[in-house]
Structure 1
Amino acid sequence: MFLQITCVVLILSEMAAAAVAAPLAKPNCPDRCGDVEIPYPFGTTKDCYLNEVFWLNCSDSSSSPTKPLLGYIEITKISIDGQLDILSLISFRCFKNSSGVLEYDNEPYLRVLDFTISNTRNKFVAVGCDTYAFLNAFQNNEPFSIGCTSTCQSLRNVIDGSCSGIGCCQVDIPKGLKNFTLDARSYNDHVKVGSFNPCSYAFVAKQDWFNFSSDYLQESQQGNKTYPMVLDWAIGDTTCEIAKNQSGYVCGRNSQCYDPENGDGYLCKCINEGYEGNPYLEDGCQDINECEADPNPCNTTTSTCKNTDGNFTCICLDGYEGDGKIASGIGCRPKANKSSVNIIVPLAISIGLVGLFVGGSSIYCGLKRRKLIKLKEKFFQQNGGLLLQQKLSNYRASMETAKIFSAEELQNATNNYDESRVLGQGSFGTVYRGVLPDNKIVAIKKSKICDRTQIEQFINEVIVLTQINHRNVVRMLGCCLETEVPLLVYEFITNGTLSSHIHDKNLSSSLSWEKRLKIASETAGALAYLHSSTSVPIIHRDVKPANILLDDNYSAKIADFGTSILVPLDQTELSTLVKGTFGYLDPEYFYSNQLTEKSDVYSFGVVVAELLTSEKALSFDRPEKDRSLAMYFNSAIKEDCLHQILDDQIVNDGNINAIHEVANIAKWCLSVRGEDRPTMKEVAMELEGLRIMGKHPLVKTNLYIEETDYLLGAPTHSFNIDVYNDSSSAITTVGLETMSNQVVKPLDDGR
């Protein structure tokens, strides 16, 4: 019966739509260009469009089919609910055979000031075995970039339909992007892969339209210069509430405005299903006369149909009662005699139905509760809960810190994961601010995905992280395993990220040189602890200012171990899929896939360079050769012009020598070869020595050794460390002195 009613409703809707031919364009204006319908506010001739933003050029050439153009962009479909299907250009860079000689390239620029890239209908895609690509756009009138990298050594590991970084990579489009350029590049000019993959490609693809295949790698796509994508459009740049009270408001009769999810402005829609048409025209939303539909929505043998404004009614004939509508299944039935039997029977039936409803509801709620309990138990076992309990019993000292939270505890702590509790979002999950029953504030990380094959490794990481007891590492308090994806609970750090303090002008002024040196020293000490002092060495793999939190005393706290790896004690390097953040990624790790603790050292070197310069690790505002801060920083030191890129707020006559020392440490960390870099323990000792010299006014970097010995009255023990200078094959010998049991390294700008 339900299926029949549904079918009738669908038929009625289709017939009603056919009965009313609602106008799309303004009177006496063309409503098509070739095969594309052109609804107002768009138009192709004068006085037929709202303003210049919505003017389309309807080309008419004997050599090509008629098609609408927005500037030079071809339109394939216009939807009145705010979407515009277009053909966007592809960025490509192709090389001749395996010679590394560029054969042809294309870097398109889509300039549509008033329209926004749809973040729900598109994705950014890069294709190639030696490829990195960027989408550079504007968000809220500020430059913004996203990108990804795609590599492969052969076609053996390429999987059709998979776009996970092997031959193809893709990323989601953020909200509010306009005016974008595409940039597809390669690392080695396809020299190593040119025999089967000569080109790098980048494009914005319509969701579910692009399906990756290895054919894309082998074939030249030069002829395919466009790809379908979707733009979001809206009226003006003010919200719906403001536009209602302004002149030029375009929503017509029987329509209402609403705010789009992506971008500025407002959109219009007909007020309900009883109206149909173009809501941007004055009389665009017209009443549908359902009574003229075939078949009629009323049972014509027992009722008559009457059209109403935006709806219809069925009037039963004399001797009948009901609503008369076919779709409701009630229709019109003969009126019943009002005898006592006819009253008692329905009453008894009603009471019985109420009893059945109450009993059924109780049974249903009980079954649902039992099902929820079983589901929690299932997730708990799938997520390694039994294994975690077993391991916790072997670490009795950690029982108080490694707590297993229930799903209800964390749901109540975050007010059911309310959006107002969100502290931050990343590619691996969302972090919420939570308040436990004892009023303790915590940070709760909710991951997006969970790899069931890595559960044992995940449990081992939880055990190790809960045992980490270092004042400069964010402490893990426990986890919840009763949900589909495990939740991790950390201590809450109050003062935000180091990244915001460096790059926010309002906050950076309070970040003095002493605070920056302290942050660098504490971060180095924490990384050294992770590399060499934990029961199982840990490589963080994503060291950057965004993952360094600050408390109210500006003490550094390393956070976000989502990409970290536990290193077996008998191994010094791991072969793994490259993960990390552009600008901080160790080049040796990127090319070899061999991860060592020296990869963290390189990333730390970039962090120190940011602390000294307040520049971003990757910036398109700098010239192309200086986009990478690591290269920009090393070049400045090599050319003896470091002072030109230092943050003026931290430089003074009293600390310039210490700044040069820290810069040399950063340069050491940024050595291209991992074997030329120091260990984090060496870096931590160097920075801590500089901090101590800064705290004691009697210890100055320009004192002679004899004067230092005399003032401190301590014996001098010296030894040498040979450090390979990454700019030459020469070896620099650095002398270290022991003063009052503290190692202090004299300044050596020549490192």
Structure 2
Amino acid sequence: MVFQIILLLCSIYAIFVQAADLAINSSCEERCGTVSIPYPFGIGAGCYLDHWFEVVCNNNDSWAPKPVLKKLDLEVLNISLKNYSQSSRRTVIVNYPTFSICNNGSNSTENMKLENSPFIFSVYDNVFVAMGCDNFATMTSSDGSVTGCASFCDTGKVMNNTRCSGINCCQTTIASNLDAFNTTIKTINSKEPSIEGCKYAFLVEEKWFQAAYPFSNMSTYARVALEWGIPNTSLTIPLPMANWANNGRNRNPEYDCYDSFIPASNPNSSRVSCYCESGFEGNAYLLGGCKDIDECERSNPCSDHNTAGTNGSHCENTYGSYNCSTSGPTKSYGKATMIGLISGGLGLLVILVGGWWSYKLIKKRRMIKQKNIFKRLLKQHLSSHEANVENTKLFNFKDLDKATDHFNVNRILGQGGQGTVYKGMLVDGRIVAVKKCRVIDEGELKEFINEVVILSQINHRNVVKLIGCCLETEVTLLVYEYIPNGTLFQYVNGQIEEFPLTWNMRLRIATEVAGALFYLHSAASSPIYHRDIKSTNILLDEKYRAKVADFGTSRSITVDQTHLTTLVHGTFGYLDPEYFQSSQFTEKSDVYSFGVVLAELLTGEKAISSTRMQESKSLATYFIQSMEENNLFDILDSQVLKEGKKEEIIAVANLAKMCLYLNGKKRPTMKEVAKELEMVQMPQKAHNLQQNYEELEYDRAEMYEPSDAESKSTMSTSSGNVQPLLPYQSA
């Protein structure tokens, strides 16, 4: 015991020595003009972590010096560090170039690439904006995901637009973990008379854009937020983070570190971020950089303390926290620590016990704070929805950390905008999927709450099951049942060639998904719209049964509601055109998305493909055109042609066609779809199928003609599997 105490004392002494040696050189400039430059950024040799973080203070401007990221040649407007109590992310706000053309036609540009850098374009802070008449602008990321929107002209009268909502301006979200993209601008109505004026497409910080719009004139630069983190390698990360990287998790009560994001272009290299814990503030990237906050000096936190009384209660600061009492000062472990280090011996033992107790207290306070936020938001959601969240298990972080081998990169099953999913094994031997969400503030926690509430209402064999969650850390964790055989997308598009889907399996999977959607729309305690049905969100279990997943954007409605009016969200190729035009999502919008999945099962084609002709990049368009031209059997998957009966194929094709009607009222309900698919699988009724599914008239012009040019036209993509986008064309 004595030997262990001596070793610990030596370690404490070594830390203090290192902290003193690593203090920032007093000769380093801490500001450039009005912008603060915190470490790991810096001005001058020895003041920054590596060349990516080097800042040059440009004094050529007579008005004010301008800081510039030397490696990227971008002007810096602000650099933020994040502490536990703050909701903002670690961002660098920069002036980023806009893209424009001032003639009719199309043009593209390759934007600045951030591959292998510590930066990505922030999915939470930025939006993609298109401005100008009849402007269709898209951005394509390095992994093929596409985001875009269309801004239409108002040729009737001059409008005083105060919102970017589709007339002369539109905006949409961007792909997650984005570090490189190309921008394309196209004229929508090429057959119309030439419309003068320039067209613009650019990334911009959303809060600034909302406050500044409409502009008196466009600039060649816009404010853009870059998230930043330190590459997780022992050669580049600061010493506080090196300790975290070597041990899997930091154990220091003053600060914490975590994997903040994984760049899209380099999925094998994460970026690490650190922050000062609750009760501390400062720079977590420096040893000793997180300083204790004296809560008692700043305010009177004990004035409304439940146990200590009201005004006049005594407040005493402790290391990382404070104590309230009515009988004078309480024992301060912070002061005791200093006394113990000086006196040594028995006093050191008291300090170690006190330090351990303080750390546990801080960790407990943080967990209680997180749980209180969770419970408050959950209560708000439950006031209008029926849910059984009491059956949702609360997991211990240590158990999930152990189950995933400290969230080892080799355990990653997939990743998206909300976080990364890891494979894990619980202590009872169960295999689970653990979703590690990005660091979230209270606003983003609502999305997490929404998924918990939605899944707690669902009890269906073809919907992925939520087992529980963990609320002990700032990074929220969701635990799902593990679905071992990947996504439907991987099988339909030939990514898993050793196990081709038979025709009977395709029919069964389609029927199971239709049954699950019928349950969501009609049989759940409250109707639920999934809002992102696609083949990548359909998982296959050990028996290749379908499991519908990803309810992050789903919504529950009251029985008397017919639609939701929301910002348009979805995946290109699956997005209901009627929803795109009106921003009103109905149960028939899920039906349209399911129709695209049926077309995928029949053809083996992707929902959006660059290998097809321009006018047929959309599978929905390609499928309908082929049926109208009597070429259905020319586009079918070879496995379908080999095993499927002609009358069954025609029946399913006609059903997919009905689901893809642009007029939502003409589409069948999911109940009707599920019933018809069940009939296809009934051998005794097979001879009647041809009569049950007669060819229906389909107005081909509807596939291209927008129903309301003045409607809101915002779109977003959430899948890395999506390829270049098919724009709307005039009929």
Query: Does the aligned pair in 2 maintain the 1:90–1:106 contact within 8 Å?
Result: no
Match of 2:295 in 1: none
What is the Cα deviation at residue 389 of structure 1?
13
Query: Does the aligned pair in 2 maintain the 1:540–1:600 contact within 8 Å?
Result: yes
Deviation string 1:152-209 (CA, Å, 9 cap, x unpaired) is 99743459xxxxx9844453685785xx642134768999xx9xx965423478xx89
C-alpha distance in 2 between matches for 1:423 and 1:722: 43
The equivalent position to 1:135 in structure 2, one of 133, 139, 142, is 139
> Is 1:415 aligned with 2:405?
yes
Q: Which has the higher contact order (CA 8 A, sep 6+)?
A: 2
What is the Cα deviation at residue 107 of structure 1?
1.4
Q: Which residue identity does 1:128 align to in structure 2?
A: A
Query: Does the aligned pair in 2 maintain the 1:91–1:105 contact within 8 Å?
Result: no
Q: Structure 1 residues 427, 459: closer, same or farther in 2, change over 3 A?
A: closer
Q: Which residue identity does 2:687 align to in structure 1?
A: T
Query: Does the aligned pair in 1 maintain the 2:141–2:175 contact within 8 Å?
Result: no
Measured on the aligned residues, the alpha-carbon RMSD in Å equals 5.2
SS of equivalent residue, structure 2 residue 162: coil
Q: Which residue identity does 2:201 align to in structure 1?
A: A
Match of 2:368 in 1: 377
SS of equivalent residue, structure 1 residue 444: strand
The structure having more radius of gyration, on CA atoms, is: 1
Deviation string 1:386-412 (CA, Å, 9 cap, x unpaired) is 9679989x999986x532323333333
Match of 1:547 in 2: 537
Q: Structure 1 residues 518, 93: closer, same or farther in 2, change over 3 A?
A: farther
C-alpha distance in 1 between matches for 2:524 and 2:136: 36
Q: Structure 1 residues 156, 476: closer, same or farther in 2, change over 3 A?
A: same
Match of 2:128 in 1: 126
The equivalent position to 1:526 in structure 2, one of 511, 516, 522, is 516
Q: Structure 1 residues 12, 691: closer, same or farther in 2, change over 3 A?
A: closer
Q: Which residue identity does 1:563 align to in structure 2?
A: T
C-alpha distance in 2 between matches for 1:481 and 1:496: 28
Mean CA deviation greater in 568-577 or 404-413: 404-413
Q: Which residue identity does 1:598 align to in structure 2?
A: K
Q: Structure 1 residues 189, 441: closer, same or farther in 2, change over 3 A?
A: farther
**Paired residues for 1:360-375 under 5 Å:** 360-375=351-366
What is the Cα deviation at residue 569 of structure 1?
1.1
Q: Which residue identity does 2:370 align to in structure 1?
A: F
C-alpha distance in 2 between matches for 1:104 and 1:704: 49
Mean CA deviation greater in 364-373 or 454-463: 454-463
The equivalent position to 1:558 in structure 2, one of 548, 556, 570, is 548
Deviation string 1:516-571 (CA, Å, 9 cap, x unpaired) is 11111111111011110111111100000110000122211001100000011121
Match of 2:488 in 1: 498
Deviation string 1:405-431 (CA, Å, 9 cap, x unpaired) is 233333333233332222111112222
Query: Does the aligned pair in 2 maintain the 1:118–1:175 contact within 8 Å?
Result: no
Q: Which residue identity does 2:119 align to in structure 1?
A: T
Query: Does the aligned pair in 2 maintain the 1:605–1:666 contact within 8 Å?
Result: yes
Query: Does the aligned pair in 1 maintain the 2:454–2:551 contact within 8 Å?
Result: no
Match of 1:430 in 2: 420
C-alpha distance in 1 between matches for 2:625 and 2:99: 30
What is the Cα deviation at residue 349 of structure 1?
11
C-alpha distance in 2 between matches for 1:502 and 1:721: 24
Q: What TM-score does the superposition give when structure 2 sets the normalisation length?
A: 0.59
What is the Cα deviation at residue 510 of structure 1?
1.3
SS of equivalent residue, structure 2 residue 649: helix
Q: Which residue identity does 1:184 align to in structure 2?
A: I
> Is 1:625 aligned with 2:615?
yes
Q: Structure 1 residues 572, 182: closer, same or farther in 2, change over 3 A?
A: same
Match of 2:674 in 1: 684
Match of 2:174 in 1: 171
Query: Does the aligned pair in 2 maintain the 1:523–1:558 contact within 8 Å?
Result: yes
What is the Cα deviation at residue 506 of structure 1?
3.8
Query: Does the aligned pair in 2 maintain the 1:502–1:508 contact within 8 Å?
Result: no
C-alpha distance in 2 between matches for 1:604 and 1:546: 12
What is the Cα deviation at residue 659 of structure 1?
1.2
Q: Which residue identity does 2:659 align to in structure 1?
A: C
What is the Cα deviation at residue 115 of structure 1?
9.9
Deviation string 1:244-297 (CA, Å, 9 cap, x unpaired) is xxxxxxxxxxxxxxxx99979xxxxxxxxxxxxxxxxxxxxxxxxxxxxxxxxx
> Is 1:510 aligned with 2:500?
yes
C-alpha distance in 2 between matches for 1:408 and 1:634: 53
Match of 2:40 in 1: none
C-alpha distance in 1 between matches for 2:592 and 2:387: 37
The equivalent position to 1:212 in structure 2, one of 195, 209, 216, is 209
SS of equivalent residue, structure 2 residue 183: strand
Query: Does the aligned pair in 2 maintain the 1:523–1:556 contact within 8 Å?
Result: yes
What is the Cα deviation at residue 508 of structure 1?
7.4
Q: Which residue identity does 2:362 align to in structure 1?
A: K
What is the Cα deviation at residue 444 of structure 1?
2.0
Query: Does the aligned pair in 1 maintain the 2:647–2:686 contact within 8 Å?
Result: no
Deviation string 1:657-686 (CA, Å, 9 cap, x unpaired) is 211211111110000011010000100111
SS of equivalent residue, structure 1 residue 133: strand
Match of 2:687 in 1: 701
The equivalent position to 1:605 in structure 2, one of 572, 579, 595, is 595
Q: Structure 1 residues 549, 166: closer, same or farther in 2, change over 3 A?
A: farther
Match of 2:201 in 1: 202
Unaligned runs of 5+ in 1: 20-34, 36-75, 95-102, 160-164, 231-239, 241-259, 265-347, 706-719, 730-751
**Greater percentage in strand:** 1
Match of 1:147 in 2: 147
C-alpha distance in 1 between matches for 2:410 and 2:610: 33
SS of equivalent residue, structure 2 residue 469: strand
Query: Does the aligned pair in 2 maintain the 1:434–1:442 contact within 8 Å?
Result: yes
Match of 1:662 in 2: 652
Q: What TM-score does the superposition give when structure 1 sets the normalisation length?
A: 0.57
**Paired residues for 1:631-646 under 5 Å:** 631-646=621-636
C-alpha distance in 1 between matches for 2:381 and 2:607: 43
Deviation string 1:77-124 (CA, Å, 9 cap, x unpaired) is 996xx7677999854356xxxxxxxx5355134499x99696726578
Match of 2:294 in 1: none
Query: Does the aligned pair in 1 maintain the 2:648–2:686 contact within 8 Å?
Result: no
Q: Structure 1 residues 641, 224: closer, same or farther in 2, change over 3 A?
A: same
Q: Which residue identity does 2:146 align to in structure 1?
A: I
